[in-house]
Amino acid sequence: MPLALYPLAVAVFAMGSSEFMLAGLLPGLAPDLGVTVAAAGLLTPAFAVGMVVGAPLVAVLARAWPRRACLVASVLVFGAAHAAGALTTSFAVLCGARVVAALANAGFLALALPAAAALVPPDRTGRALAVLLAGTTVATVAGVPGGAALGALYGWRAVFWGLAALCVPVALGVLKGVPAGRGDAGGPAPRAEAAVLRRPPLLLAMLLGALVNAATFAGFTYLAPVVTGPAGLGEHWVAVVLMLFGGGSFAGVTLAGRFSDRRPGLLLAVTGPALLAGWPALALAAGEPAVLLPLVCVLGALSFALGGTLVTRVLYEAGGAPTLAGACATTALNVGAAAGPLLAAPSLTTTAGPRGPLWTSTLLIALALLVACGSRAVPSGDDAARETSPAR
């Protein structure tokens, strides 16, 4: 893989860490800024909204600018937003900084996805995207617990400063490693790209990506209550379970990188039904360590293998919209990431209790499979040859 992919992946790691680690910082952040924990929790949906809005907005605004310059600018704005957050004593200012950081994050991903695809031959696009998305999975394994530990030792502001500092070498790496290229102003007109975005196969791929990511984050977000709740394993197992899920997600992204270019239909057809069986199995056996621990790892792998394959398909189906292709994938993933926990939260108060979100994940995967089967969108493994080349 080209070396230029790796600073992009490190940037995705920093941004993923920022997105996921906030929950662990809320107990210290809220009293420091004079708000309740519930109010501080609004920082998470604020970030999600910024991600959803920012991807297409930045992609369109940056249309005429060199892609490398836009990537560097996104990283620096992201770092500056975290520095502002670390300095402020105002919760309103911190909310604003989180929205700005989310816009920069979304813009970076919208540009980085097609940039990564452009660095490799068409038949290696899936592997390139796997390297890029590995930054997110490493964030769940190392960034989130590392940030929580840093926050416990030195306070939440130290975490924000650490992310801001990390953005400096990342920006230099992108500046040095990513080809300068040119903007997309000479490509299809915005109206022509908008027409591409109305194509049913693209809309279907985005819908499936959103549903799968919603299922993933519905379960992942509430794994801690499952582990610590009645008949759970206990609080000391939370970090282990989260790291196992993160390790599985890294394996899943790697798997998607190996096979989504050559056998996408087979990968989709296997991982979808496996998840439909895996989430309820986890809900039923959450109190058994011998089942819970390996199953969490497997579910992380299956979820990210399926999600990574769908990202590749979104880029492929959006081939006639080079400016907005990455924005489509980013928006789909973040709509799912925001919707999943919101849909799962009410299930915590049902008779299912802490395991309710796992049943929510089951229902979301079932809905994704029904949509895919109803549209006959899941290609067979024999069709892989004509599906392997996401446009650049």
Q: pLDDT, tens digit, for every residue of 13-52?
A: 888 888 777 766 767 888 899 988 667 767 876 787 787 7
Query: In the chain, where does the domain assigned CATH 1.20.1250.20 lie?
Result: 1-186, 188-392
Q: Tell me what pLDDT residue 388 has.
A: 42
Q: Are 333 and 308 in contact (CB under 8 A)?
A: no
* 347 vs 21: CA distance, rounded Å: 23
* 89 vs 84: CA distance, rounded Å: 10
* 246 vs 250: CA distance, rounded Å: 6
Flag the least confident range among 50-54, 66-70, 138-142.
Answer: 138-142
* 282 vs 4: CA distance, rounded Å: 39
* 275 vs 344: CA distance, rounded Å: 17
Q: Are 9 and 135 in contact (CB under 8 A)?
A: yes
Tell me the pTM. 0.73
The amino acid present at 4, given as its one-letter code, is A
The amino acid present at 117, given as its one-letter code, is A
Residue 165 has pLDDT above 70, yes or no: yes
Q: What CATH fold (topology level) applies to the domain 1-186?
A: Growth Hormone; Chain: A; (1.20.1250)
Residue 387 has pLDDT above 60, yes or no: no
Helix ranges restricted to H, 264-324: 264-284, 289-317
DSSP per position, 116-174? HHHTS-GGGHHHHHHHHHHHHHHIIIIIHHHHHHHHHHH-HHHHHHHHHHHHHHHHHHH
Instruction: Give the angle 201-204-208 at the CA atoms, nearest 5°.
Output: 140
* 104 vs 107: CA distance, rounded Å: 5
Q: Region 174-181: what's the mean pLDDT?
A: 78
The amino acid present at 233, given as its one-letter code, is L
Show the tokens assigned to 161: 């400063």
Phi, psi of 266 (to 5 degrees): -65, -40
Q: Are 88 and 34 in contact (CB under 8 A)?
A: no
Q: Which CATH number, 1.10.1740.10, 1.10.1200.10, 3.30.70.2190, 1.20.1250.20, labels domain 188-392?
A: 1.20.1250.20
What is the SS3 assignment for 287?
coil
Residue 143 has pLDDT above 90, yes or no: no
- Confidence bin at 138 (pLDDT 50/70/90): confident
Q: pLDDT, tens digit, for every residue of 266-315?
A: 888 889 999 999 999 999 887 788 888 999 999 999 998 998 888 888 87
What is the SS3 assignment for 286?
coil
Q: Tell me what pLDDT residue 101 has.
A: 92
Q: Tell me what pLDDT residue 392 has.
A: 39
Nearest in space to 256 (alpha carbons), one of 304, 297, 211: 304
